[in-house]
Structure 1
Amino acid sequence: MKNIPPLTTLKCFEAAARLGSVTLAARELHVTHSAVSQQLSSLENTIGIALFVREARGLRLTEAGRLYALEIRTALHALSSATHQAQGRPEDDELVIATLASFAVHWLTPRLPDFRRHYPHYRVRLHTSLELQDLRQGFADIGIRMGRGHWPELTQKKLFSDELLVVAAPRFICGPHQPTPAQLVASPLLHSTDAPWAEWCAIAGIAPQALQSPALTANDSNVILAAAVAGHGIALERRSLVAGLLARGELVQLSPLTVPYPYPYWLVWQPRDSLSQKQLHFIDWIQEQVRRPW
């Protein structure tokens, strides 16, 4: 491409245009005042346009300079974004998995040593978020999502369905007997935003009006589980998240009654003619993990 000024020159121009000062631009870019001034003069000479009016108090953009600055700022942002995307794409020996933090902490991470034993040549990187991550950009090799499926432009394979259990810390409920459903709903309740306590009440034969106001509500199950383990109340949470806590005795199940969870887990990936070897290895491995007992 011709007629493109050097990147250093454009960065100096963008900073000076945004800050309205050569001094401030030099400070931001960690260069000298004279270096920025020379770059600005060079740019104006190169493109043959006056970009600034020099005034006693600093610089004032001409109208042509203002419009040019907007375009250059957009272009520099695009360059930065492209570089970030290139750096974020997985390398051949790196497996990047996008999923929910709660699933990563309580289900996936405890099992990853087994994956490493089978496939020690892969480096695993987890990218966690409460938001759906756009896998079409190639930042992750595979995603594990929770929902009803039918995400456009992605190949998806159901991993497993889940159910909700009533759990609390062992010290929260005292006495040798399991509490009745009425006693449970009269206790301090910890609410995930997607935990249907009303459905559990219907299964237990209790009017939803008997539910206490939640002691805590959170949109992240990690918060609810931390509060439950700390003994702050009773939670209705997914078996996939509490199975390990139950096995270690950090939580106990307070009722045999369970509620089907309406959102299964899915494997999702970019559609292509053939999957990479690392994708195939991970899919085979995680399906085998799902077949094992909780």
Structure 2
Amino acid sequence: MRRLPPLNALRAFDAAARHLNISAAARELHVTHSAVSHQVRQLEEWLGKSLFVRHAGGVRLTIEGQSLKQAADQIFSQLQTCCEELAEQAQIAEIVLGAPASFLSNWLIPRLERFEAAHPNVRVRLQTSGTLEDLQKQIIDCLVVSGESWPADVDAVSLFDETIGPVCAPDWAPSFRGPDDLVGQPLLHTSSRPHAWEAWAASNRLDPSLFANGRRFDHLSLLLEAAAARLGVAIAPALLVEREISQERLIAPLGFIKTDATFAFCSKRDQQGGAVRILREWLCLEASTEIRP
């Protein structure tokens, strides 16, 4: 148990020590002059020390009073700061957004400052391992993911059509005039989209088996780094390589083709309000107003 004097007495002393006037302290605390005097005397009795020297113009601190005032200033200031921070945190809604790491790093994070400026009371915590199962188990509050169909208990709002295409370093030696020119080239794959090359080949009426081999990478970010380092030709969604293309680290020599999938904002149907709604509407606005190739 802490051995402390009555906190009301400390509060009265703090006000009186700052003003060096009992009446001014009483006005600050919205109590009577006698109430402050009583609290100060109670504190002096508890300590066995005089804290003030009374005179006609008010009071002045004794040496012991000065020591206590210094401690009270520090403690009450820290307490005030902590309480203000807690009160502010109580007004901030935090939501967890799951999405592929490549979407977060290439598209969302460069824009997140705009969201925070527009909605200072909503804090978005990002998680790279988000799946529909995580959403249904409420491990995350919402999810951005590419897909074609959605569970019945999930509300999915389309943000972007998915388009994919080959990307490579700008100075990659071969000159690609058409899809046929990629046959026999060193191809780069990612485990998150293991059959992307075969799907792209089929869409271009090429034999998918000719595009099944090549180097494989766990993450799209590694895939794109390998392509920029001239290790081969990668295939990736246009949405997730826009930054590399704008920075001229990669080019898309044959453009992109549309798939049946879309990038969608997903949330549980019973969780459509509050911060989730704010983030969904902002993402939809960003997606609709963005000028994309």
Per-residue CA shift, 1:30-87, capped at 9, x if unaligned?
xxxxxxxxxxxxxxxxxxxxxxxxxxxxxxxxxxxxxxxxxxxxxxxxxxxxxxxxxx
Contact 2:163/2:238 (<8 A) preserved: yes
1:105 aligns with 2:102: no
Out of 165, 179, 182, the position equivalent to 2:180 is 182
Equivalent positions of 1:65-80 (< 5 A) are: none
Tell me by how many angstroms 1:116 deviates: 1.7
Q: Where do 5+ consecutive residues of structure 1 fail to align?
A: 1-89
Contact 1:160–1:264 at 8 Å: present in 2 too? yes
* Aligned residue in 1 for 2:267: 269
Distance 1:130 1:227 in 2: 25
- SS for the counterpart of 2:140 is coil
C-alpha offsets along residues 230-280 of structure 1, whole Å, 9 cap, x if unaligned? 221101110111111111111111113x3323332222222227511x222
Q: Is the 8 A contact 2:160 2:263 kept in 1?
A: yes
Q: Is the 8 A contact 1:98 1:133 kept in 2?
A: no
Contact 1:164 1:238 in 2 (8 A): yes
Instruction: Say which SS state the counterpart of residue 183 (structure 1) adopts.
Output: helix
- Asked if 1:233 is matched to 2:232, the reply is yes
| Distance of 2:212 and 2:271 partners within structure 1 | 53
Change in CA separation of 1:192 and 1:165 when aligned onto 2, cut-off 3 Å:
same
2:189 aligned with 1:191, yes or no? yes
- Letter paired with 1:104: L
Which whole-Å CA distance do the structure 2 matches of 1:197 and 1:246 have between them?
Answer: 20
Percent of pairs with identical residues: 25
Q: Structure 1: which amino acid aligns with 2:94?
A: E
What is the CA–CA distance in structure 1 between the aligned matches of 2:206 and 2:213, rounded to whole Å?
Answer: 15
Equivalent position of 2:277 in the other structure: 280
Please give the alpha-carbon distance, in whole angstroms, between the structure 1 residues aligned to 2:160 and 2:129.
20
**C-alpha distance in 2 between matches for 1:127 and 1:223:** 19
Over 3 Å counting, the alpha-carbon distance change for 1:285 and 1:152 in structure 2 is: same
Cα separation, 2, equivalents of 1:104 and 1:219 = 16
Deviations 1:195-254 (CA, angstroms, capped at 9, x unpaired): 43234334545444554731x123532221221122211011101111111111111111
SS of equivalent to 1:191: strand
Is the CA contact 1:188–1:212 (under 8 Å) kept in the aligned structure 2?
no
SS of the residue corresponding to residue 151 of structure 1 reads coil
- Equivalent positions of 1:4-153 (< 5 A) are 92-129=92-129, 131-153=131-153
| Letter matched to residue 122 of structure 2 | Y
Q: Alpha carbons of 1:274 and 1:239: their partners in 2 closer, same or farther (altered >3 Å)?
A: closer
RMSD: 2.7
Q: CA deviation at 1:92?
A: 4.2
State whether residues 94 and 124 of structure 1, in contact with CA within 8 Å, keep that contact through their aligned partners in structure 2.
yes
Hey, which bits of structure 1, 4+ residues long, moved more than 6 A? Answer: none
Unaligned runs of 5+ in 2: 1-89
Higher-Rg structure is 2
Query: What is the aligned length?
Result: 200
Q: Partners in 1 of 2:268 and 2:144 — Cα distance? A: 12
